[in-house]
Amino acid sequence: MSLLAGIVTFWRPSAIDRLRSPVLLFDAAGLGLFAVAGAQTAITFGLNPVMAALLGMLTGIGGGMARDVLLAEIPTVLRSELYAVAALAGAAVVVIGAALQLSTTATTIAGAVFCFGLRFMAIRRGWHLPSRGGACAGFAIRGCR
């Protein structure tokens, strides 16, 4: 199986490039599911809301970090992409829902969908967080040096 994958990658790299987008979509779905699962577990064990949201975010980004490290790439969460913010937003929905004593199932689904939607839009529209470099970084504006 590995030999076949190597042959396909060598002779048809365009076939591998087409798989990048579906992999990112499945990654966004996993991010949402693990972020809300981590937050829900933290709430179940009685952690305070801030810690539950942070634990949910860390649970969500952990899988993506492991994947990137195994692929010898810079982890997505360490680049300027909307990754940890999406996980934190999804986990925050679960924590706020628990604080308001809303249905666990509804808040979990809403948090996962919100996280997935935010990450999906960031992938499709190229949304990034601001990066270091000042006001002129990345812009060709007259007067910026």
- pTM of structure: 0.77
pLDDT at res. 134: 54
Instruction: With H, G, I as helix, E, B as strand and everything else as coil, classify residue 81.
Output: strand
Would you say residue 136 lies in a domain? no
How many Å apart are CA 111 and CA 124, to the nearest integer? Answer: 20
How many Å apart are CA 42 and CA 64, to the nearest integer? Answer: 20
Q: Tell me which DSSP letter residue 128 carries.
A: B
Would you say residue 63 lies in a domain? yes
- Taking each helix axis as running N to C, give the angle between helix 49-70 and helix 20-44, from 0 to 180 degrees, rounded to the nearest 10: 150
- Structural domains counted in the chain: 1
Average pLDDT over residues 55-69: 92
At residue 11's C-alpha, the angle toward residues 5 and 13, to 5°, is 80
Whether pLDDT at 53 is above 60: yes
Whether pLDDT at 144 is above 50: no
Would you say residue 89 lies in a domain? yes
pLDDT at res. 15: 64
Whether pLDDT at 145 is above 70: no
**pLDDT tens digits, residue range 84-140?**
999 999 999 999 999 999 999 999 999 999 999 999 999 888 888 887 765 555 544
Mean pLDDT for the chain overall: 86
Helices and strands (H, E) in the chain, number of each type: 6, 0
What phi and psi values does residue 132 have, to the nearest 5 degrees? -65, 145
pLDDT at res. 141: 46
Domain that holds residue 85: 25-125
Would you say residue 30 lies in a domain? yes
Would you say residue 138 lies in a domain? no
Would you say residue 65 lies in a domain? yes
Would you say residue 94 lies in a domain? yes
Would you say residue 37 lies in a domain? yes
